Structure 1
Amino acid sequence: MSRVTALDTSVGDGGLLTAFGDVLVVLGYALVVGTAIVGGVATGPLRVVLAAPLLTFLPGYALAAVLFPARGPDQPTDAGTRRPTPSHVRGVSWVERVCLSFGATVALLPIVALGLSWLGFPLDTTVIVATLLLVTGVGVLGGAFRRLRLPETDRFALPTDSWRDELRAATADAEWNADTVLNVVLALLVVASMGALAFGLVAPQSGESFTEAALLGQDGGELVAGNYSTELTSGGATNFTLTVENQEGERTNYTAVAVIERVETDNGSVTVLERNELDRTSLTVPDGETREQTLSVRPEMLGDDLRFNVLLYEGEPPATVTPETADNHLFLWVDVNESSAGTAAATTAPPVTGDGV
């Protein structure tokens, strides 16, 4: 009995698209759509639509490509005849391959989640999508390699000819009856179920989106929530570290504005007497991640018990920045002395008070 000892790389008269069209389509979709999702280009409903195949079908299809590189028993060769394939490369029918793809994807998702959790990765959209892209890409490439090892007549290929005939029989040549209508309804229900599953996995859950911001001080070279520099020098630079955690469900652009105010308090009410903007900076934070940003302030306003504010906005801030217009408001009380008083000294202050709108 003869045995294939080298790769049979011929693709016959059908060409590359016929022999490996599914591999090219899956790889192309994974690269383009995956990059759009991970890079934050596709957001909102578009992200849900694009992610549906990746979360319901493609990883399982890649696994099926590795396990079953041969054509199915119901798939004719180019000559129009069916021929048996060796048992060790037995294929499956196209319907079985599709069902296996859906089932394998559903089985892979919890395995991927457990693996990422065990490795310490956050279970956010970017990490999950990137992992599924890796699984899909490696799977289809492995399936293509196994397919190349088979004789051309035994390789799996997309049954485009039978699809065309079946589509014509189901539409132009169909005799519409109760069975035909039920088949159409069933197909629509399958598509709707795929969309619902993708939406549940990708779309942010209502009521769970938020942004958390905090100011950090230095303690022995480490950043801590305290030990802030509250004695500042007029004209001297003092650095504060702002951290922003994005749990909004999508990549978000923020603008942080540092402001110092002279205020007057009376029976719990606060009146702003004077306000100066000290620094303004922008930062972009991917969904589920935290970023640090240094704010460098040089106050000119002199006085004791001045209110140093950090106003955080999602996107561009309004023309007039105030604590009332900010999405997140952080502040602490500082004293600003003349430059002759010396450099700023770090003193222990109470934790920063923050509120989000």
Structure 2
Amino acid sequence: MSFATATRTRLASVRKYPSDIAVVSLAALVAYVVVTSLEAGSGLRLTATFVLALFLPGYAFVSVLFPAAERNARETAATTAETHPRGIDAVERLGLSLALSIAFVPLVAIVLAVTEFGIGAESGAGALALITVVSAQLGAVRRLRTPEADRFVVSVSSWIGRVRRAPSTVSASSTILVLAVAVACGALLVGVIAPAATGGFTELGLYSETDDGDLVAGELPDEVEPGESVPVTIAIENHEREPAEYTVVVQQQHVENGEIVDRTELGEVDGSVSAGGTGTGEYDVTPTADDGDTVRVSLLLYDDDPPLEPTNENAEEDTYFWLTVTEDAAED
């Protein structure tokens, strides 16, 4: 008999678990899985990120702060000790959820920046999901400890009926809050979606390799013997949100008074780079200039195939370094 009574008590507790808090906890876990599983630029991932960063943590934390529902006007007037409702209405709850979520995001970024996890999509989503789930459970405990008559309960039908029966009870402050939330959401949507609609960018880097195997920039030799090669490492960072095919044209250029008077193609390097990735490749630059000439070696980056006449002006990205061909390079 005692076993059956305990079972019924546990089942009753499960039935009383707030449905909105259960939905918020589950949504946080689903959003984390979506953000960490889908590729950058996915519409579903963008939506999950938006919900996880701008609503779920705040709603869970508001549940901790305000477990009770709003008092009605008669209950408020009947007590002189309390001049304000113990709870908040649904509109205020939604507005605070948005505000607190926005406040959580920079705090999470600051904390992650000083940890070994760093700031990234996976670490950020994991931190926000953890905050949401933990806060939601604390909110559930507080709400279950609140007297059932005063407890906040999500009921769409009763809320709509209340508005229909007494539309005048909707305060001016609630109306202003709704408008503020709508404006904030609109601004955030523009800020999040507009950059996604614009094109990305690509970065081109030129490095040399040290004896320890490290890549460094700005330490390429400026003199070389005739027929000698200069080993360089070409790095391409793809921020186009999709895989891309690239071609790098290596050109030797004679420059006089700031104008290119002669071009000689030394070779091409091509390859593909995944979205958000960095591709590197080694190339030996062998200038064909005569002894005593100083030339500019330009690397011109193109999407797919280069044009018939590659120039620094029509390249997507370009970089260069200067070389002097001299017999005295080895002695220097």
Contact 1:231 1:334 in 2 (8 A): yes
Contact 1:12 1:152 in 2 (8 A): no
Residues 323, 155 of structure 1: alpha-carbon distance in 2 compared, 3 angstrom cutoff: farther
CA distance in 2, matches of 1:297, 1:318: 20
Deviations 1:193-238 (A, max 9, x none): 123246557866xxxx97653311134333333443664897x986
1:330 counterpart = 2:319 = yes
Residues 114, 18 of structure 1: alpha-carbon distance in 2 compared, 3 angstrom cutoff: closer
**Which residue in 2 is equivalent to 1:165?**
158
**Which residue in 1 is equivalent to 2:34?**
32
Residues 56, 232 of structure 1: alpha-carbon distance in 2 compared, 3 angstrom cutoff: farther
- Paired residue for 1:310, among 280, 285, 299? 299
Where do 1:1-357 residues align within 5 Å? 8=10, 20-33=22-35, 35-36=37-38, 39-42=39-42, 51-64=49-62, 67=64, 72=68, 95=90, 97-119=93-115, 127=119, 129-143=121-135, 159-160=153-154, 162-167=155-160, 170=163, 173=164, 187-197=178-188, 199-200=190-191, 212-221=203-212, 222-228=214-220, 231=224, 239-244=231-236, 251=241, 256-261=246-251, 263-284=253-274, 286=276, 291=278, 293-297=280-284, 302-304=288-290, 307-313=296-302, 315-320=303-308, 321-333=310-322
Contact 2:249 2:299 in 1 (8 A): yes
Residues 212, 346 of structure 1: alpha-carbon distance in 2 compared, 3 angstrom cutoff: farther
CA distance in 2, matches of 1:29, 1:112: 17
Deviation at 1:240, TM superposition (A): 1.7
Deviation at 1:281, TM superposition (A): 2.5
Contact 2:246 2:270 in 1 (8 A): yes
Letter in 1 for 2:30: G
Deviation at 1:310, TM superposition (A): 1.8
CA distance in 2, matches of 1:49, 1:19: 20
Deviation at 1:303, TM superposition (A): 4.0
**Which residue in 2 is equivalent to 1:82?**
none
Deviation at 1:57, TM superposition (A): 2.2
Aligned Cα root-mean-square deviation (Å)? 5.3
Q: Which runs of 5+ in 2 are unaligned?
A: 1-5, 72-85
Q: Secondary structure at the match of 2:215?
A: strand
Deviations 1:70-100 (A, max 9, x none): 963569xxxxxxxxxxxxxxx9556365454
Q: Secondary structure at the match of 1:41?
A: coil
The structure with higher relative contact order (CA 8 Å, sep 6+) is 1
Letter in 2 for 1:166: W
CA distance in 1, matches of 2:18, 2:104: 30
Letter in 1 for 2:182: V
Give the stretch that moved more between structures: 7-16 or 256-265: 7-16
**Which residue in 1 is equivalent to 2:79?**
none
Residues 256, 272 of structure 1: alpha-carbon distance in 2 compared, 3 angstrom cutoff: farther
| TM-score between the two structures when normalised by the length of structure 2 | 0.61
Contact 1:257 1:277 in 2 (8 A): no
Task: Determine which structure has the larger helix proportion and give its number.
Answer: 2
Give the stretch that moved more between structures: 23-32 or 98-107: 98-107
Letter in 1 for 2:156: W
Q: Secondary structure at the match of 1:309?
A: strand
CA distance in 1, matches of 2:209, 2:193: 38
CA distance in 2, matches of 1:256, 1:271: 27
Residues 227, 261 of structure 1: alpha-carbon distance in 2 compared, 3 angstrom cutoff: same
State the number of aligned residues: 298
Q: Secondary structure at the match of 2:40?
A: coil
